Chain A
């Protein structure tokens, strides 16, 4: 019953005019971000952090940021289907069959199915979140420093092993993130690290500036290299209502996609991209007519789109219950909460029930808003793509700059922003992912503290991480995942060698 009471309180909180407005704004901005290629949810969430500071209320601000995150998953499908241009990474597979459907004049039903699938999956995800999260929080209360250390380390490493094309590069980024986080005064001893006598460096780097530079600014640099012009390939959207056959074809895909998304989203590093890829692969495998895939199979749209939204909702589970962000965008939300004095983790549900239940309730309402925003207003979102880059570019850059400046009214932060922007740009040119860097940067102080506390507890005995049952099991699971991944790599290399022969 506690769950219902909490949820009810959450709803009464969300239904205030102010909170509704911010949930709506979040969903609106999220959809816009999803539609626009390039700007991803992580970049946008970081751009809007300064606005969150002016909101002042942690519950309202997380509703707003969460809205942007799952809104982007919705919006991404629109451009994939109509223009074969994935608005964000999780919608890449939607391009394949979605665009084929659009060519056949069935864009309307593809859009409708993906919106409906997203809604169903989002709702299933939030339902799972509602019932699973309190139990997980309860469980995690038993964690001590060694467990948290094992959990966070596992979360970060899983993130690079699962998402990255190249785990080695991911690991390097991870360590660089930790190093960057170490700049400034050491919280345990008060010793200044890596400051080289520069006063500005004593406070360390602000994660907002880092995130804005790595994700926002570097994106602008990348876009400037090539003149992008969105071609409008699809003229007619066609009827929105899917036919009876399309319904039957996509029903199962939506359900399967929702479940796949939900479970993959819970795993740190799982996230929406893997969820949508997995769902597509599964739909193709189990389809009665797999030859239709790639030629406009509606299940190839319904499954992945449901999966990425399911994952978007369920990726809040580790954040709200364990305090572990599963991907870069969630990590920024995590940091935004920390700055406002709210520490996500097992104590969240007890200390800040308004934040915990508020964000869950806001997701139910946000889901409905997104359905309304996306289906009838599809035409409007396509207009957004016609805004030329010579206006979008300066506008985004200036918003970033002003937001960054407003953090501390300091020009120094602006130079730092530029430096991080250039670093992010070069790293992305080298095909290093900046996500793990930011996640490690945000988690590093927590990891370092739990490591040092654990070592104090055991007076320097590393065995503490293996003997304690929970942390021992976590490390074991992680070891198994890595071994599997390495075996897979090994097999791939073997295959390649055989092919070459």
Chain B
């Protein structure tokens, strides 16, 4: 909980410095920055007791799947440009099925294939969205 607040306050400190140097265009961000600091402090003040009690934000193992997905997505985006849509999407969905849903290899492969092809048909064939082709040219 404190982490999110620290981020807000940090960004505000960063902002105030930037604004004082150039008052014209900086006025609006400055006002909102000050507002955030004041309101966050107010909010902290009101909730001091609650935060001190410290109910953890994530329950037991709740954070595992979201983290896996974040990593998977980063890998997916990184691969997309080089390997192209089909290969990276196949891998992404396959990874999701195996790591998050813990399904069998065969059914994971099947889902990955169907998902990839179906979306390819909708976006590339029907809506003509240009997707990265990658090394295999498809």
Contact = CB atoms under 8 A, between A and B. Distances in A.
Answer yes or no: are A and B bound together in one complex: yes
Interface of A: 50-51, 54, 168-169, 171-172, 175-176, 178-179, 182, 186, 188-189, 191, 193-194, 220-221, 224-226, 390-391, 393-395, 397-399, 401-402, 405-406, 409, 411, 414-415, 418, 422, 425-427, 429-430, 444, 448, 451-452
B103 A414 contact: no
Given A189-B24, A402-B119, A425-B66, A394 B96 contact: yes
Q: Which secondary structure characterizes the binding site on chain A?
A: helix
Interface string B24-61: 11111100110110011011001000000000011100
B119 A171 contact: no
Contacts of B8: 172, 176
B77 A394 contact: no
19 contacts: A168-B43, A172-B36, A175-B35, A194-B15, A225-B63, A225-B66, A390-B100, A394-B97, A398-B93, A399-B119, A401-B76, A405-B80, A405-B132, A406-B123, A406-B129, A406-B130, A414-B80, A430-B4, A448-B28
A168 B39 contact: yes
Contacts of B132: 405, 411
Contacts of B97: 390, 394
A338 to B, nearest CB: 19
Contacts of B89: 398
B112 to A, nearest CB: 8
Contact of B111 (A189, A391, A451): A391
A168 B66 contact: no
B32 A178 contact: yes
Contact of A54 (B4, B80, B127): B127
A194 B130 contact: no
Contacts of B29: 178-179, 182, 193-194
A393 B72 CA distance: 13
Interface residues of B, number: 56
B73 A175 contact: no
A226 B58 CA distance: 11
Nearest to B25: A186
Contacts of B33: 175, 179
Contacts of A54: 127-128
Interface string B94-137: 00110011010000000100010011000100011111100000
B115 A224 contact: no
Nearest to A224: B65
Contacts of A194: 15, 18, 29
A184 B15 CA distance: 14
A129 to B, nearest CB: 32
A284 B22 CA distance: 57
B36 A179 contact: yes
B128 to A, nearest CB: 8
Nearest to A418: B73
A360 B100 CA distance: 45
B15 A402 contact: no
B115 A191 contact: no
A390 B28 contact: no
A171 B35 contact: yes
Contact of A418 (B46, B74, B123): B74
B93 A418 contact: no
Given A50-B129, A401-B73, A452-B28, 16 more contacts: A172-B8, A178-B32, A182-B32, A189-B24, A221-B69, A224-B65, A390-B101, A390-B103, A398-B115, A411-B80, A414-B77, A415-B74, A426-B4, A429-B57, A430-B1, A430-B4
A397 to B, nearest CB: 7
A176 B62 contact: no
Contacts of A406: 123, 129-131
A250 B56 CA distance: 45
Given A398-B89, A418-B70, A405 B39 contact: no
Contacts of B96: 390, 393-394
Nearest to A222: B66
Given A176-B8, A405-B131, A182 B77 contact: no
Given A168-B46, A225-B65, A182 B28 contact: yes
**Most chain B CB within a 10 A radius of its CB, from A171, A172, A178, A226:** A172
**Most chain B CB within a 10 A radius of its CB, from A175, A182, A406, A411:** A175
Contacts of B35: 171, 175
Given A178-B32, A179-B15, A169 B77 contact: no
Given A394-B96, A402-B119, A171 B39 contact: yes
Contact of B40 (A172, A179, A414, A426): A172
A169 B57 contact: no
B4 A224 contact: no
A179 B132 CA distance: 33
B108 to A, nearest CB: 9
**Most chain B CB within a 10 A radius of its CB, from A50, A391, A451:** A391
B65 to A, nearest CB: 4
Nearest to B42: A168
A169 B25 contact: no
Contacts of B123: 402, 406
Contacts of A221: 66, 69-70
A407 to B, nearest CB: 10
Contacts of B26: 193
B39 A172 contact: yes
A102 to B, nearest CB: 30
A101 B101 CA distance: 35
A355 B123 CA distance: 27
Contacts of A225: 58-59, 62-63, 65-66
A179 B42 CA distance: 19
A58 B97 CA distance: 39
A169 B127 contact: no
Given A179-B29, A394-B92, A172 B43 contact: yes
